[in-house]
Structure 1
């Protein structure tokens, strides 16, 4: 069969073919229905419940407070670790009276009428040197006064000076060693007066290296009131450097 004959037969076959239009449309519709995606519902975002927001905020605040407290505590622990201490300057402010049952040399007590005394080791003292502060308080003027500070000889104790808050020309001062004590004595000059108020007397001294036991140190004061009558007081020191 030549080419002309083949072409003629193909044309005849094509002309004789009648497609089934209804069947073709049905197949197309079935195909389109199968390819269409099923509709999907979209869930709206879930709202954050109010109590969850409050709980979150509370947790955040607690965290900040906890961090701040830790910082303060750490700072305080660091200071204690370094042993930092600020020593206060000597003051003429009277300390609280000791118990009336506590007696100094001669059976004296810290308070007698208008007169009161107390003794402490100054906080500026160290392992080689110390200052003993005597506080004397009087509610009346005094026409005569002798203050005596006795520092026990615990080893290497020797005087390095003394001072008082009252005017220097009003007193005579002496320092002696007597019976195992370094004795400082301030005596009011004749014709002078100690005014009512709080006054300080201090003795300074070197001592053997280390913590010094001041338990045996003491102070006594004998006075005459300007209005008449006498008063005498005394006090013991405590353990200190």
Structure 2
């Protein structure tokens, strides 16, 4: 049963392909009709007794027979493949024609006379720019200007006392310089400036203070051959009496670094008077 089914399916497929590929040879059919008509005209001279109507009847009959055979053949092929579902058809669609740029561009404006000049100058048509829009990069804001405070060798000024030291955790590649400020009463204004001499490879790696970060503005610059850290107490902020540390951290060339040229300066206000302190990073006695 399976073999017969396969044979039937194969026959049906071939008939289906033959039906799609079949194209009636119309030119050949018409040529046969014309030859038949010409033969009838030649025979009419020898057999005049045959009525002309009979010749036309033969032509019509031959045409009907050919049409009948084509119809029967098409019906047989259609009956054999009528159970097959129609194949999906693909239609090739040609792309739409591409218009040339000149067909869509705006024509140039007609010449017109300028208010104070001569006529005849053509105005350039406005069109899309071929260059991409410029995107201006934001200019980085410059750091606030820092004024170097004048050196001061006094580490004690009334209610304020100060000291400079190198943090013991410093090593052959990195160091931290500490400025300690001690106040005996409230401070209403304070600026701490730390200067690290450029002894080779000195570059900032950070800074911190033991007071709230939001109370101060920090600036790090390089001036006069030194790396300068400046902490400024914001306007309206005050500091209670106590002891605070301001630290600058930095890399340097390998080996023990000499801090002889490092210094710090402090300007503040306490007890209603301006105070000024300063010093270096040598060992100081705590005589406060």
Bin for the TM-score computed over the shorter chain? 0.5 to 0.7
Deviation of 1:155 after TM superposition, in Å, equals 0.2
Alignment check: 8 A CA contact 1:142 1:196 kept? yes
Tell me which of 180, 183, 200 is aligned to 2:225.
Answer: 180
Q: Shift of the alpha carbon at 1:164?
A: 0.2
> Does the 8 Å contact 2:173/2:254 carry over to 1?
yes
Task: Please show how residues 61-80 of structure 1 align to structure 2 within 5 Å.
Answer: none
2:278 corresponds to: 234
1:132 to 2:162 alignment: no
1:110 correspondence with 2:159: no
Please report how far the alpha carbon of residue 106 of structure 1 lies from its aligned counterpart in structure 2 after TM superposition: 2.8
Q: Distance in 2 between matches of 1:238 and 1:208?
A: 21
Question: 2-side partners of 1:197 and 1:188: how far apart?
Answer: 15
Equivalent-residue separation in structure 1 for 2:257 and 2:150 (angstroms): 21
| Larger RCO: 1 or 2 (CA < 8 Å, sep 6+) | 1
State the 1:105 CA deviation.
5.4
1:108: how far off?
Answer: 3.4
Q: Partner of 1:120 in structure 2?
A: 165
Q: Does structure 2 conserve the Cα–Cα contact (< 8 Å) formed by 1:131 and 1:202?
A: yes
Map of 1:146-161 to 2, 5 A cutoff?
146-161=191-206
Unmatched runs of 5 consecutive residues or more in structure 2: 1-148, 284-288
Contact 1:108/1:232, CA 8 A, preserved across alignment: no
Which TM-score applies when normalising by structure 1? 0.54
CA distance in structure 2 between the partners assigned to 1:159 and 1:121 by the alignment: 15
Match of 2:215 among 170, 174, 177: 170
Determine the structure 1 residue equivalent to 2:37: none
Contact 1:152 1:216 in 2 (8 A): yes
Indicate how the Cα distance of structure 1 residues 238 and 108 shifts in structure 2: closer, same or farther if over 3 A, else same: closer
TM-score by length of 2: 0.46
| RMSD of Structure 2 on Structure 1 (CA) | 1.5
Which protein is bigger by CA-based radius of gyration? 2
Residue correspondences, number:
135
Mapped to 2, the partners of 1:111 and 1:236 lie a distance apart of 13
